[in-house]
Amino acid sequence: MPELPEVETVRRGLAPVMEGGVIARAEVNRPDLRWPFPPDMAARLTGRRILRLGRRSKYLLADLDSGETLIVHLGMSGRMQVSGVALGLFQREHAAPEKHDHVVFHMEGGGRVTFNDPRRFGAMDLWPTDRIEDHWLIAKLGPEPFSNTFDETYLAERLRSRRTPVKTALLDQGIVAGLGNIYVCETLFRAGISPKRQAANLSRERAGRLVPIIRDVLSEAIEAGGSSLRDHRQADGNLGYFQHGFRVYDRAGQPCVTPGCGGSVSRIVQSGRSSFYCPQCQR
């Protein structure tokens, strides 16, 4: 499942083509993805100018001049690929239509943005822009990791009340939006905190120190174009490469990268998800 860095990478890749542009024609090739599309979605998108292309947690938000916002969730395998216009030094020509090209945005000027999703776990919806925070996918989200409201005091207070492992608490989208399994594992390793430690038992100082580490990990991942483990591609079709810098994630049995540690990375399952950590370094 794409996490914040992957979605932000896609947003940045789409912005030069979509932000400020007009959707000359929206092509919707099936009635649903994970859930049914909103009624008359193609007609409601066709001819609309995209005023702003934003992101909230793991959702892309395209504010339209109609007063509606298109909400896009990539799901497990969704990709939004640009063709017909130059991105940087290269231009990707229009490919032949594929079986899983479920939604296609034909932009004025000849650009095309294709949403391809083989597993169909993605989703799209249209919602009034001035009430976007009331949408059921958005309403219960916590603050963005880079926002001013996500600070050391806030996180320490939220973790102090949680009688769950800190790994589980950080995956709670109501505490902080956009974090997923990969980046929580990497954050806890850098912080020297075991994923098994109870959130409520962290000192205020250790809990607060997580905030800059979370931001550092996410910033590095965005700069690297996200992590391409299975399906993630940037808008120009290229892979992300943050996975080449993983320190613990997906490295079970390999030596810990901390100089002088001598331990190895372990894998445990928490709430149905794999946690990777170094028992020697993380307490």
58 is catalytic: yes
| Distance (Å, whole) CA 55 – CA 22 | 19
| Distance (Å, whole) CA 118 – CA 228 | 16
* Among candidate residues 47, 44, 50, the one with its CA nearest the CA of residue 16: 50
Catalytic residue among 52, 118, 273, 279: 273
CB 211 within 8 Å of CB 219: no
Catalytic residue among 2, 143, 165, 195: 2
Catalytic residue among 48, 55, 56, 58: 58
Catalytic residue among 3, 27, 68, 186: 3
255 is catalytic: no
| Distance (Å, whole) CA 266 – CA 256 | 9
Coil, helix or strand for 208? helix
In this structure, what is the dihedral angle of CA atoms 143, 238, 216, 182, given to the nearest 10 degrees?
70
So which residues are the catalytic ones? 2-3, 58, 273
